[in-house]
Amino acid sequence: MDTLFFGLIGLVLLIIVLKILKWPFKILINGIIGLVLLYLANILGSYLGFTIAINAVTALIAGFLGIPGIILLVIFQLFF
């Protein structure tokens, strides 16, 4: 009986920890994907005659917004 009780408590604690760690992990993954997309946009952009500076601002835009953020940065670089 005690094993079942402690097993359920352990399962509940595991679910709580996973819920808490989900948000920072998602931000980290989005940031890495955004940085890779920014790098790929620079590679493709070098053939078209433009580059996007990789700095904290562009990395945050690419990380938070993903593909729409990369498109926004490319449009901004081409027209402004």
Q: What is the pLDDT of residues 27-52, one digit of tens each?
A: 788 888 888 889 999 999 899 888 89
The mean pLDDT value for 44-65 works out to 86
Interior angle at CA 53, CA 43 and CA 64, nearest 5: 90
The mean pLDDT value for 12-35 works out to 84
- Single pTM value for the model: 0.66
pLDDT score at 43: 93
User: Residue 12 is encoded by which pair of tokens?
Assistant: 């509940």
pLDDT score at 72: 92
Please state, rounded to an integer, the average pLDDT across all residues of the chain.
Answer: 86
Which CA distances in Å does 22 have to 11, 16, 62, 63, 67?
Answer: 16, 10, 20, 16, 21
Q: How far apart are CA 42 and CA 44, in angstroms?
A: 6
